[in-house]
Chain A
């Protein structure tokens, strides 16, 4: 039973940074913008959050610092992609490289000592129920925040007028512009939100998931988040399910290493990346479903006619 609890809670925790990053990217892509630089924004978030803790700030301040760092970094991409109408693939790649460099530069002052991780909550009574307590009521607050963000984003995208406008811009910015919506401004807001969420994802990694600083500690999670959005065919619920699937994969792989399975640890470590490829291939077969929810203007620069 303990093993079940460990795998279940481990899955939820491992999925949390992916949920933040992929939901943020989902909103960005729904507005018709493709930001490949999640990895860079996550690293910036991780570095700032960790640095804030090392500098003696409280946990909430550190997490907010991480989120803001992600948002500010995303602004660099925004200016290039939205104001300067550059190729969004190239701008996103530049952001990924830049974020990795800046975070490594900042991180050299952090030392190699771990910090005290984000505290898990303890709800009186609820957390003490056998099985149910440890399964559902004994996570750190960021886990619940990720789930709350899922609810908020689903509601925003599909139940509010602003969400409809955002999706319209993703489908046809020309139409939205013609009706009178400020396409570029709304896309900027989406990009900033994506940066904020990637920053949160990074902060979660460095102050809660593995509370120590390692250069390039995201290890491809930003890219896996990108793949998750495709896997989810641009729908929030599937992002959540996909993140749990990958979280579960990560945990099973770690459990396998802990059990000392007779396979090289490198092979187990490669599983999440291989799984990403396989999942992408399977999803890509269903062209109809992809086309149905795919934001038609994705990665196409838009310049309002004057």
Chain B
């Protein structure tokens, strides 16, 4: 039944979507086709689908580790940006752009930077009792401003016609696509490893079990001697590491440079992916593929039908609404009660 809710929520979202399109004066079936089917009709579409699903799944895996323990990291967007900044910094300024070590170093830099950014709320929550929701979110705004400063100021490409972006990364600092006709690159393997690692951690390790107990029954966890601060640290660092790596993969993959458009909101959408996937590794894969399709479809109808890409965010919100509501019918049984006279 737990599996049923996301399916029901997806179907309901599609129904609401059709009504919405009809109200806008578009043929609902044609629009739904343009949104959800047309993007996957070509090899390029499939490549883009996986390319966008990859960071969503990766980040959602990291976030879900925290969500299971009731650690609410909603600042993955900021951790992604910081990861992209650190990785691009290494890629741009490493003395030897031909070095074989460059990509691994960028990977480590992205991961470490994402973790460092997430370590701030972790420290503040674990040691200073400060709400991590607000801190992670505030740090996202700070990260966005830091990125904006770098690409407008010190890191701006001098040959870039004043566009706010860095120079292109050297070839040795790029994740080479499988096929140069498409953009899909080996970062999907990183995501696959992350999915398996997350499954092992949450479903097969004692530490993962302790984290789940911390989330489900904090008092029981404390009684059993599981440290809450450990759950906070692990939860936030897992999300930060995943988001940082996703940021590295965006900069070194499809974008090839640092610009303010480093992420179309992957960090926020990944929160929904984690929930749609029921905080479970394989559910997250499906949730990420669905969410990626929402991004692709949003771009698609923007180009073909002139509908705004804000539709993607509306669908994201509606999907999460329906998912949460569907849960109610799973966890509670409705009973007809005779009105008392």
The interface of chain A, by Cβ under 8 A from chain B, is 36, 40, 76, 79-80, 83-87, 89-91, 93-95, 97-102, 104-105, 108, 215, 219-220, 223, 226-227, 230, 264, 266-267, 269-270, 273-274, 276-277, 280-281, 284-285, 287, 303, 306
Contacts and interface: CB of A to CB of B under 8 A. Distances in A.
B135 A89 contact: no
Interface in B6-48: none
Interface in B325-341: 325, 327-328, 332, 337
B192 interface: no
B184 to A, nearest CB: 27
B139 interface: yes
B101 interface: no
Interface of B: 72, 74, 124, 128-131, 133-135, 137-139, 141-142, 145-146, 148-149, 152-153, 268, 271-272, 275, 308, 310-318, 320-321, 324-325, 327-328, 332, 337
A108 B74 contact: no
Contacts, number: 129
Nearest to A306: B337
Q: Which of A267, A273, A276: most chain B CB closer than 10 A?
A: A273
A94 B308 CA distance: 20
B134 A104 contact: no
Q: DSSP majority for the B interface?
A: helix
Contact of B314 (A89, A98, A270): A98
Contacts of A215: 310
B134 A90 contact: no
Q: Which of B316, B324, B328, B337: most chain A CB closer than 10 A?
A: B324
A277 B328 contact: no
A220 B320 contact: no
A105 B138 contact: no
In the A-B complex, the 7 residue pairs with the smallest Cβ-Cβ separation, listed nearest first, are A98-B317, A101-B313, A104-B310, A101-B314, A94-B320, A266-B149, A84-B328
Contacts of B320: 90, 93-94, 97-98
Contacts of B312: 101
B325 A84 contact: yes
Nearest to B123: A281
B325 A86 contact: yes
Contacts of B152: 266
B72 A89 contact: yes
